[in-house]
Amino acid sequence: MVLLAASPLAAQDALDRTNPQGLANRDELQLPPPDKVRIEVQPVLDMPAAGSGDGGTVDVGAIIIDGLVAMDRAAFARVIEPFAGRPLDRTEMVRLTDAIAARAREEGYVLASAWIPEQALVGGTLRVRIDEGTVDGLRIEGSDDPAIRRQLERLVGGGPVTLAALQREVLLADDLPGVWIRSTRFEREGTRRILVVDAARSDAGGSVLVATDGTKPLGPVRARIDFDANGLISPRDRVDLSISATPFDPEELAFFSARYTVIVNDAGTSVGAFGSWSRTEPGAYLAGRGLLGEAWQAGLRLRHPLMRGSAHSLWLEASGEVQDLRQDAFGQLARHDRIALARLGFYGYGPLAGGSLQGRATVSQGLPVLGATGTSDPLASRFDAAPDFTTLTWWLNWRRGIVPRVSLSLAATGQFSSAPLLIGESFVLGGTQFLRGYDFAQRVGDQGVAGSAELRYDWPRALGGVRHLQLYAFADGGTVSNLGGGLGGGTLASSGAGLRTDITRDLDLDFEVAVPLTEERYDTGDNSPRLNLRIVQSF
């Protein structure tokens, strides 16, 4: 076993805080709020005017509804009862058809229309015609990509369309790699109802990020290049590549990840493979310790939309992966962890308390297979960690407008564990998400919770110089603890303020001042604020 000097960081802290896998994955942000797709569902077919003749009254006995496909006549009994068995004038017949169409729309058939055709009443029976709302054709404006057309043609010629079915297919088309649906509407071509979709698709894209949120041994300036390509092998696949490094000291941090995802059916199910490799060689005050870390990760992932709508969506997520971490000190192996695990969880969003709630919950199960590190392994990051642990990890984000331009964002995250954990699955306080006043891995443990509150002010076209400016102030806090004999737990709080700007459509600049409140930062040994600058150029 290699012994390290205890100042300014203990050996365990130095290894934990320079863990290459954790440092690379710390940039995996929570998903952004979903973009809204404008879906217009107003009926567009011109129906004949109700009634006929000279505009007088008609003695009506029974009322029969014709044209039903998805619904049955019993569903309209309550609606037609007030109009049956009495004289009706033209105004009342219009009210009758409106009520019948409204009843169908209550059941989700938002394109439904009803009218009274020309007829001679036999025995006082009035026949009302209904169109529950079918889609007779599809026209795609912009990018008429075969993958988009295939997804949306499921709505055509298949019977009456509900709002839920319309939203699901449009949003599943929007989920296709590189696709965004700008809007939908209905138009009339003779007696046919045509769904018109304004769509676009990008074959490739990416971004370059430069940030100052690293630590002295691994940064503090970091750069990342992300690239994605769509439709390489299949019209519904995507390749994502990411490279991260410390540009001024390239040997300190290097990270590469790749992911391949393909949507395998019209229900939106996607499967994929992912992998990453990372390397650290800390400098600054850790340069004399001879630390060298290397990590890799590989796995398979599945995602399926259980519910897909404009207001509510829910996905099932499952994956299996292997993580491997090696850290050397002075040329000798000081730590070797391997974790094999399976994950199952849900991600979704929906309205709540006048705002929008977004969240994810994941259960992870460690597996004693593929050479997973066992209990009491002398090279393990935790001697008492078992390979067959179970954790529940979750995060929530709720946003709501308060007054025009002012909004509130509340976020929380947490982890619960059944057993001590190796460092790769630990819960961390500090970094860019929670406890922003502290450096990454200021506190580390098996389980914990953290929360933040952020008050925001949106300023479009601020000073005439940027497309959009958001000013904000935040406070966050959290606590982490360890099971068994683990070290590194504690409670932290911080606060600060900053701004987020869209200088152009493709250039963003964020700046934040975050102040530690409860203890000194390990990176500086004092309570100096973190100054986080982030610039992103998309292409």
pLDDT reported for residue 23? 58
pLDDT reported for residue 7? 35
Q: Where in the chain is the domain with CATH 2.40.160.50?
A: 11-33+203-538
3-state secondary structure of 137: strand
- SS3 labels along 453-482: EEEEEEEECHHHCCCEEEEEEEEEEEEEEC
- pTM surpassing 0.85? yes
Q: Is the domain defined by 134-201 classed in CATH 3.40.1760?
A: no
pLDDT reported for residue 426? 94
Q: Where in the chain is the domain with CATH 3.10.20.310?
A: 58-131
Q: Which CATH class is domain 11-33+203-538?
A: mainly beta
- pLDDT tens-digit series, residues 413-471: 999 999 999 999 999 999 999 999 999 999 999 999 999 999 999 998 877 777 899 99
354 close to 328: Cβ distance less than 8 angstroms: no
Q: Which pair of structure tokens corresponds to residue 421?
A: 């954990």
3-state secondary structure of 379: coil
Those residues of the chain that have pLDDT short of 50 are: 1-10, 29, 52-53
Amino acid at position 140, single letter? I
| Conformational region of residue 501, where left means phi above 0, alpha means psi within -120 to 50, and beta covers everything else | beta
317 close to 302: Cβ distance less than 8 angstroms: yes
pLDDT reported for residue 37? 73
Average pLDDT, the chain: 90
Tell me which CATH homologous superfamily contains domain 58-131: membrane protein fhac (3.10.20.310)
Give the span between the Cα atoms of 330 and 307, in whole angstroms.
53
pLDDT reported for residue 4? 38
Which stretches does DSSP call E strand in 286-417? 291-308, 313-329, 332-352, 355-366, 390-403, 406-417
pLDDT reported for residue 239? 98
pLDDT reported for residue 1? 35
C-alpha separations of 183 from 167, 175, 260 in Å: 11, 14, 28
